[in-house]
Structure 1
Amino acid sequence: MVSIKCPSLVRVSSGQAVLGLSCLAVSLLSFLLIRQLVKQRRPPGFPPGPSPIPVIGNILSLVTEPHVFLKKQSEVHGQIFSLDLGGILTVVVNGFDCVRECLYNQGEVFCDRPSLPLFKKMTKMGGLLNCKFGKSWTEHRKLACNSFRHFGSRQKQFERKITEECMFFVDAIDEHKGKPFNPKHLVTNAVSNITNLIIFGQRFTYDDSNFQHMIEIFSENVELAVSSWAFLYNAFPWIEYVPFGKHKKLFRNAAEVYDFLHQVIEGFSQGRVPYEPRHYVDAYLDELEHNASDPLCSFSYENLIYSVGELIIAGTETTTNTLRWAMLYMALYPNIQERVHREIDSVLENGRTATLEDKLKMPYVEAVLHEVLRFCNIVPLGIFRATSQDTQVNGYSIPKGTMVITNLYSVHFDEKYWNDPGVFLPQRFLDGNGNFLRHDAFLPFSLGRRQCLGEQLAKMEMFLFFTTLMQRFHLQFPPGTIPTVTPKLGMTLQPKPYSICAVRRQQKQCYT
């Protein structure tokens, strides 16, 4: 037998295989590119907007101060315009008139949540905050609202519990004895404890390291959720398999928080008596048991974890950052702080503790808190929404399922409704007689069906914490220092870390 070897044929076959794979890869990439470019085409009648970069669209425009960029774009394209976020066509709504038209006049249409890969990965579109509009959202929203009323604002002793937390708060500040400190840790702990009372029925101590760690992770995720990596993940979910990027940290944080919440929920549900709820967790477990035989029931243990996490972060971030900004601006404007002190002293004679009934007697304190909320824009872009059906706004056609960004910053800086909006001026909330004056174009808690359910509680907390703090302390910066007022960007705008001296008002001296 003769053996015949054909090495040249083998080499040709390998070369052909490589060539074939290369052609396949090029074809696949070309298909994906064409598909992406088709996704980026605006449908007929869709609002105009800035020109996108091929493939990634306008994502890079949102890396720094997106709320400011979007307001500037509204001056070019109109109050309603569109963005391309990597193939995700998005409508941006600016100015009070347009926001009111969408969120109030067409509230049913603009109350959905977009089905973004990030939300699907984090909460499977469950829980409360990111839940799609429908039966599940209605059930979870109703339970949360009832819990906030029953275990919170409508409970006769709840104001006393907030006042007690206020005293824990100012006593903890007193321990610094007028020396510089970063108030973030104490403010966050104090505020989160009010929500904890509703969710778990009790507070956490300020030195509870596990709870502190969870809050820090929550805060970090609030920043990461609107990072460029988060937008890229929504546009190209396959980057989940890329071994680097901030989205990886986001997912690790979420997993750690959910594990912690599972343990906490298990602990606080011990001793539960069915249908005699002590707090939100008990009430949720009652609903879970009551609907156990209903295959369409949206209540589940997984959704309980998601909902608890969302309520904690929603109940903490806004109020915490409002108080941190308020402290910063009191030290920055001593004349405003002095007027706050005078009003508090005139109402709270002999140093008595503030009550909610005192709000009507303190119009200037109310004006200061409202101006902080307006000027600092704690949640500048709200939480992204989606249209639940086809609609028209200002003559433009918006299809069902379109993602919508409501630029609340543009509402609070709308020159049509605010004089000199770029100036911090509490007097804009007072009439000619010094009485508190409400403004329609004031929407820090958003508007419509998805309006913040904790608005009433947040206003209670802000007034009592701020009044108690300012009654006891004079706030000033350490000698020779003035912190920046440029915010730290995220889903919320928070102050960059700063040090402050809280000096007993009898002393008036900052100790370095």
Structure 2
Amino acid sequence: MVSIRLPYLGSAVQYGHTCVGLCSLLVTLLFVLLIRQLAKQRRPPGFPPGPSPIPVIGNIFSLATEPHVFMKKQSEIYGQVFSLDLGGYSTVVLNGYDTMRECLYHQSDVFIDRPSLPLFNKMTKMGGLLNAKYGRGWIEHRKLASNTFRYFGSVQKQFERKISEECMFFVDAIDDHKGKPFNPKHLVTNAVSNITNLIIFGERFTYDDHDFQHMIEIFSENVELAVSGWSFLYNAFPWIEYIPFGKHQKLFRNAAEVYEFLLLIIERFSEGRNPQSPRHYIDSYMDELDQITTESDSIWSKENLIYSVGELIIAGTETTTNTIRWAMLYMALYPNIQEKVHKEIDSVLGNGKPPSLEDKQSMPYVEAVLHEVLRFCNIVPLGIFRATTQDAVVNSYTIPKGTMVITNLYSVHFDEKYWTDPGTFSPQRFLDSNGDFVRREAFVPFSLGRRHCLGEQLARMEMFLFFTTLLQNFNLQFPPGIVPNLTPKLGMTLQPLPYSICAVRRQQ
């Protein structure tokens, strides 16, 4: 007799039950997460209206291209205060000068915080300076930075001479191209960054310092990556950190490389330090570290020093660099405007002497051109995201404490209530009938309130001296047959797409 043994099916059945159980658990978990995410997307009572969000993702995809333009268009539908859902983060968008002034100036202490976003936590642990939460840490770090920028920078006459010296290094580097086409980004970036370097490190870096150039390039790349779709998705779903691909991973790798480099140069420039006799920002920060006696002083740390130095470098470089690059582009694009700039510079500096800040009041047209570049090009169109420190009421809407707030500065500079034909590049709007420079109320490139750009005074000095020195020495024009693309490269700042330009020596 042949016996046939049937296979034992108990283990297979048990395995099947286990799989079914795990799948059920997973489906239940996903369902709970979905319900939780949808609940987060519900607008609180009295919250501003806005475009309908996609379930779970919200309005993130709407910010993929020209988010500042999208937000201004939405304000024409929903009003100057409206809301977006950014993956479960209920966000209020402020548009127009009247709203911006009400919130950032009259309610400055309410709209002064930073949102607790996973990306900010990952990058700086909500420390440092620019992304720090409102509180003693931010107040003390801003106070130190402001005092350092004044003491080592803007209040010293000799610092103006240092900027003028850098302007001549810049001119000499441009001269090396002998009027042939070149991309000015590299030279402008190095020249501008050196002004901030003088305050932070007490020294400038040569234009062929490849390590420092590499760091600046990484910083510039991160300014773009920080507002990419992947970054918004990371804020909504932090678990994607474990996905090995995506622009957020590039952002994190760049940050780690930059922080490692900054640690090295901080240690290098703190050598030979004489306590309480600071030579630059790093020494001043080290003096604060020396004073730590209690745990409450822990706002000062080596880690926060690295974050602060990095933020000051990029804030002091990216905005002014892009302003000058846009100014060069528009001078070549509008030779009639450039000719008026040349005439004014020649009339004030007829003997070929280098420009000084005292000459600014005698150059209203130069001032008007620089202001129009800042208005028209909107270097930082959305500012840096803010958050409310307490419940607020704006335009009869209720904005709860901790709500993320986006300030659409672009909408202010294109606010038809304050600007005639805002879509036209016209320096004349900053001049009166006598040709004198006129300040305009709805001009906020450095934002408003207590969290406005602390480097505004330094930036204005740099822009005037670099631009005037450049136009005193060169005539800017595009290579024959070249028409530049005026579409900005999107990021936290709006920078020109790479372009070539010819800087031809002027006959003095």
> TM-score w.r.t. structure 1 length?
0.98
| Counterpart position of 1:510 | none
* 1:133-159 CA distance string (max 9 Å, x none): 000000000000000000001122000
Tell me how far apart the structure 1 counterparts of residues 294 and 51 of structure 2 sit (CA, whole Å): 51
Tell me how far apart the structure 2 counterparts of residues 245 and 292 of structure 1 sit (CA, whole Å): 43
Task: Give runs of aligned pairs for residues 84-123 of structure 1, distance below 5 A.
Answer: 84-123=85-124
Matched, 1:71 2:72: yes
Tell me how far apart the structure 2 counterparts of residues 436 and 229 of structure 1 sit (CA, whole Å): 43
| Counterpart position of 1:265 | 266
Tell me how far apart the structure 1 counterparts of residues 455 and 396 of structure 2 sit (CA, whole Å): 34
Matched, 1:253 2:271: no
Secondary structure at 2:351 match in 1: helix
Query: What is the aligned-residue identity percentage?
Result: 77
Letter in 2 for 1:436: F
Task: Give runs of aligned pairs for residues 278-317 of structure 1, distance below 5 A.
Answer: 278-317=279-318
Letter in 1 for 2:273: R
Task: Find runs of 4+ consecutive structure 1 residues off by over 6 angstroms.
Answer: none
Letter in 2 for 1:68: V
Letter in 1 for 2:354: T
Secondary structure at 2:157 match in 1: coil
| Counterpart position of 1:170 | 171
Farther-moved stretch of structure 1 (286-295 vs 254-263): 286-295
| Counterpart position of 1:463 | 464
Letter in 2 for 1:261: L
Tell me how far apart the structure 1 counterparts of residues 10 and 259 of structure 2 sit (CA, whole Å): 59
Letter in 2 for 1:233: Y
Task: Give runs of aligned pairs for residues 48-63 of structure 1, distance below 5 A.
Answer: 48-63=49-64
Task: Give the drift of 1:348.
Answer: 0.3
| Counterpart position of 1:356 | 357
Tell me how far apart the structure 2 counterparts of residues 492 and 417 of structure 1 sit (CA, whole Å): 23
Task: Give the drift of 1:5.
Answer: 8.1
| Counterpart position of 2:184 | 183
Secondary structure at 2:98 match in 1: helix
Task: Give runs of aligned pairs for residues 318-337 of structure 1, distance below 5 A.
Answer: 318-337=319-338
Task: Give the drift of 1:231.
Answer: 0.2
C-alpha RMSD of the superposition: 1.0
The 1:297/1:12 distance shift into structure 2, 3 A limit, reads closer
Secondary structure at 2:256 match in 1: helix
Matched, 1:408 2:402: no
| Counterpart position of 1:32 | 33
Tell me how far apart the structure 2 counterparts of residues 176 and 456 of structure 1 sit (CA, whole Å): 32
Tell me how far apart the structure 2 counterparts of residues 493 and 481 of structure 1 sit (CA, whole Å): 22
Task: Give the drift of 1:14.
Answer: 1.1
Secondary structure at 1:351 match in 2: coil
| Counterpart position of 2:155 | 154
Tell me how far apart the structure 2 counterparts of residues 265 and 214 of structure 1 sit (CA, whole Å): 14
* 1:142-195 CA distance string (max 9 Å, x none): 000000000001122000000000000011000000000000000000000000
| Counterpart position of 2:379 | 378
Tell me how far apart the structure 1 counterparts of residues 21 and 104 of structure 2 sit (CA, whole Å): 54
* 1:352-410 CA distance string (max 9 Å, x none): 11000000000000000000000000000000000000111000000000000000000
Tell me how far apart the structure 1 counterparts of residues 411 and 105 of structure 2 sit (CA, whole Å): 17
Tell me how far apart the structure 2 counterparts of residues 27 and 257 of structure 1 sit (CA, whole Å): 42
Task: Give runs of aligned pairs for residues 476-491 of structure 1, distance below 5 A.
Answer: 476-491=477-492
Tell me how far apart the structure 2 counterparts of residues 297 and 241 of structure 1 sit (CA, whole Å): 31
Letter in 1 for 2:355: A
Letter in 2 for 1:247: H
Tell me how far apart the structure 2 counterparts of residues 308 and 406 of structure 1 sit (CA, whole Å): 25
Tell me how far apart the structure 1 counterparts of residues 171 and 479 of structure 2 sit (CA, whole Å): 19
Tell me how far apart the structure 1 counterparts of residues 441 and 18 of structure 2 sit (CA, whole Å): 68
| Counterpart position of 2:455 | 454
Task: Give runs of aligned pairs for residues 342-353 of structure 1, distance below 5 A.
Answer: 342-353=343-354
Secondary structure at 2:156 match in 1: coil
Tell me how far apart the structure 1 counterparts of residues 340 and 125 of structure 2 sit (CA, whole Å): 49
Task: Give the drift of 1:8.
Answer: 2.1
> TM-score w.r.t. structure 2 length?
0.98
Task: Give the drift of 1:506.
Answer: 2.7
Residue ranges of structure 2 left out of the alignment (5+ in a row): none
Task: Give the drift of 1:11.
Answer: 1.9
Tell me how far apart the structure 1 counterparts of residues 257 and 78 of structure 2 sit (CA, whole Å): 43
* 1:436-467 CA distance string (max 9 Å, x none): 00011000000001100000000000000000
Task: Give the drift of 1:9.
Answer: 2.1
Tell me how far apart the structure 2 counterparts of residues 330 and 474 of structure 1 sit (CA, whole Å): 9
Tell me how far apart the structure 2 counterparts of residues 473 and 316 of structure 1 sit (CA, whole Å): 23
Letter in 1 for 2:24: C
Tell me how far apart the structure 2 counterparts of residues 411 and 390 of structure 1 sit (CA, whole Å): 24
Tell me how far apart the structure 2 counterparts of residues 373 and 484 of structure 1 sit (CA, whole Å): 18
| Counterpart position of 2:501 | 500
Tell me how far apart the structure 2 counterparts of residues 276 and 137 of structure 1 sit (CA, whole Å): 24
Task: Give the drift of 1:296.
Answer: 3.8
* 1:301-357 CA distance string (max 9 Å, x none): 100000000000000011000000000000000000000000000000210110000
* 1:42-64 CA distance string (max 9 Å, x none): 00000000000001000000000
Letter in 2 for 1:310: E
Matched, 1:145 2:142: no
Tell me how far apart the structure 2 counterparts of residues 147 and 10 of structure 1 sit (CA, whole Å): 72
Task: Give the drift of 1:243.
Answer: 1.1
Task: Give the drift of 1:294.
Answer: 4.3
Task: Give the drift of 1:6.
Answer: 6.8
The 1:184/1:72 distance shift into structure 2, 3 A limit, reads same
Matched, 1:131 2:127: no
Tell me how far apart the structure 2 counterparts of residues 452 and 351 of structure 1 sit (CA, whole Å): 34
Residue ranges of structure 1 left out of the alignment (5+ in a row): 508-512
Letter in 2 for 1:384: F
